[in-house]
Amino acid sequence: MRQRSGLAGRAATQAPWRWCWLVLLTLSAGTAAQPSRDGAASRPVRSDTQWLQAIQAAAQRVNFTGTVVYQQGGSMRSSRIVHLWDGRSSHERLQMLDGKAREFIRKDVEVQCLFPEARRVLVERGLPGESFPSIGGGAPREILENYSLKLGSIERVAGVDCQVLLLEPRDALRYGHRLCVEPASSLLLRAETLDLRQEPIDQMAFTDVRINDRIDRALLRPSWSTEGWRVERSDHRPADLARLGWSISPPAGFRVLRQVERRGAEAARAVYQSVLSDGLATLSVFIDFNDSAQTGGADLAHQHGALSGYSRRVGSALVTVVGEVPPATAKAVAHGVTVTSSPAALPAAGPASAPLR
Amino acid sequence: MSAAGAPAAPTPDDRGERWSCLMDGEADADQIKACLDDWRASEGARAEWGLWHAAGDALRSSEVASWHAEGFTARLSLALAAEPAIVAPRRRGLRVVRRVVLPGAAVAAAAAMLTVAVLPVLRGADDGVQMVQSKKLSPAPMVATDATLVRVERLPQMDQYIAAHREMAGSLGLPRTSPYLRTTTALPER
């Protein structure tokens, strides 16, 4: 049933398959693309950059269906995923299998989040490669400046042989990652985040997967008709924190990706968010003028799986760092946030009566 | 150890030995009873009991140790006492208990998504393990002055922060997928 190489069956009729051919031909540099049963004999020869590019491309352009299990700290969730590349766009439907009923319908970068009990659709715009099985859209060169890539053994995930890739951090500011990639399609089948002692603290993996099967478009439609549901859009817009007198010092290897202003329905004042990335790991710095006194003066530290947070008061704002980084990194970033005494840093109460939602 | 039939006030050494047996599952019925009596009667015994567990947890993991909070059992007892004995607890009452119970529950079941440990900025200690372990070696200060090693609390807007982080940054992280988090945290349900 499972077709792993792209060399058989219905390939000729589907655009994605042609694309797979290209990837295989260019990236495998002449090695046999057909995976053999013993696995090790058929490792594609790829440079580090090519491996990362292949994983990123596969998440967008390979057809697959499967069940994904996500484990963070002690909690576990599973979901059903269907992904179709139609030759131009990437389509995905993600159904949560436990907890409240939720579905996420994605076309390229636009994601509709469906909340059936509230009859509500939240529309967000992300970036390509937003979620598993992607590793994000960071430039391979940037990733490799902060992590070294090593090939590991061949393992099996969801009944499929896959190549282990280790992304080892070059310093203690970030976590390492252990990936397992199906060699023929380059689809990521498992990703683990490793703490500084190399112990897994987070993982996401397929428990069953079918790669390169034909995808019935009906599988991409949501379970519910959303007619009459309230549609909301995400409420952020660009902001310039430096102009407001705020300074954030990115840790080595990180850079500021974007800065936005958010204004929730209940919040009287805007919350500013600055997003930092090292190509793979990301963290957000929130500067919140609402209820900044609630920490009682103490710094707050929190951790759940690979997610770390650190809050402290700076001026009249609560500064909170959230990201998939070691706790010490979150703390260092939080302590690197400074504000000048510029009056612009203390925005007046916003038009609370006109929330942007 | 001879079965201590007489409930004479045990010395700290007796106590330690008894508790060690109890925690290792080697105490006999008399020893267990002596421990329980001691625990019930003596404030100092209860504090020491907490310390023993804090130390043990610190050796196991910083995350577990970070759940230890001053007066946790006292507050739990109060909350339980205040709780009406009904089968289906009221929502409001439940929240009170949950906040107090959360530390233990989260350690055991890790069901809570994200809770916040408030670390008093103690001598620049980065790591709960070091912090608590050092207390283990010199237990007295922890019980007395520094017993508020860690306060457990939840930052109310943390869920929104996390959701916002997923939305804006998930694109470049490893598989983080906002969707997964939203099942438990998420958006205000309106």
What single DSSP character describes residue A100? Answer: S
Residue B148 has what pLDDT?
25
Domain ranges of chain A: 9-220, 235-345
CATH architecture of A9-220: Clam (2.50)
Instruction: State how far the Cα of B139 lies from the Cα of B48, in Å rounded to an integer.
Output: 9
Q: What is the mean pLDDT of chain B?
A: 53
CA distances from A282 to A170, A192, A330, B130, B167 (A): 16, 16, 11, 27, 11
- Check whether residue B150 and residue B160 sit in a common domain: no
In a domain, B35, yes or no: no
Q: Give B 161-190 residues with CB within 8 A of chain A.
A: 161-162, 164-165, 167-180, 182-184, 187-190
State the DSSP string of A169-212: ESSTTS-EEEEEE-TTT--EEEEEEE-TTS-EEEEEEEEEEEES
Q: Is B143 inside any structural domain?
A: yes
Give the per-residue pLDDT at A267. 62
Is B85 a domain residue?
Answer: yes
Give the total number of structural domains in chain B: 2
- Here the tokens at position B177 are 């997928």
Residues in contact with A210: Cβ distance below 8 Å, sequence separation at least 6, in sequence order: A1, A2, A64, A65, A66
Domain A235-345, architecture per CATH: 2-Layer Sandwich (3.30)
Tell whether B160 and B99 lie within a shared domain: no
CB contact under 8 A, A191 and B162: no
Instruction: Give the chain B residue nearest A261 (alpha carbons).
Output: B164
Regarding whether B91 and B70 lie in a shared domain, the answer is: yes
Q: Both B121 and B189 in a single domain?
A: no
| Domain contains B2 | no
How far is residue A11's CA from residue A1's CA, in Å, rounded to a whole number? 14
**Cβ neighbours of B169 in A, within 8 Å:** 257, 275, 277, 282-284, 323
Q: Are residues B120 and B187 in the same domain?
A: no
Substitution target in B122, B160, B174 with the highest count of A β-carbons within 10 Å is: B174
Q: What is the pLDDT of residue A11?
A: 38
Report yes or no on B46 lying in a domain.
Answer: no
User: Would residue B48 count as lying in a domain?
Assistant: no
Q: Are residues B130 and B179 in the same domain?
A: no
Which residues span the domain enclosing B121? 62-154
CB-based contacts of A141, cutoff 8 Å, min separation 6: A49
A230 or B35, higher pLDDT: A230
Give the confidence band of A265 by pLDDT, cuts at 50, 70, 90. low
Residue % of chain B over a pLDDT of 90: 0
Interface residue B123 vs chain A (CB under 8 A): no
* Model confidence pLDDT, tens digit, residues A99-151: 888 898 999 888 888 999 999 998 887 766 667 888 887 899 999 999 999 99
Q: Please tell me the predicted confidence (pLDDT) of residue B170.
A: 58
Q: Is the pLDDT of residue A188 over 80?
A: yes
The pLDDT assigned to A129 comes to 61
Question: How much is the pLDDT for A138?
Answer: 86
Residue B170 sits in the same domain as residue B102: no
Residues B125 and B75 reside in one and the same domain:
yes
Domain check: are B94 and B175 in the same one? no
| Under 8 Å between Cβ of B15 and B36 | no
Residue B45 is assigned to a structural domain of this protein:
no
Q: How many CB atoms lie within 10 A of CB B138?
A: 8
pLDDT in tens, A198-211: 999 888 999 999 99
User: Min CA distance, A121 vs chain B (Å)?
Assistant: 11
Domain-located, residue B182:
yes
Instruction: Give yes or no for residue A224 having a pLDDT over 50.
Output: yes
ipTM value greater than 0.85: no
A179 pLDDT band, cuts 50/70/90, is very high
Decide if pLDDT at A29 tops 50.
Answer: no
Same domain, B147 and B86: yes
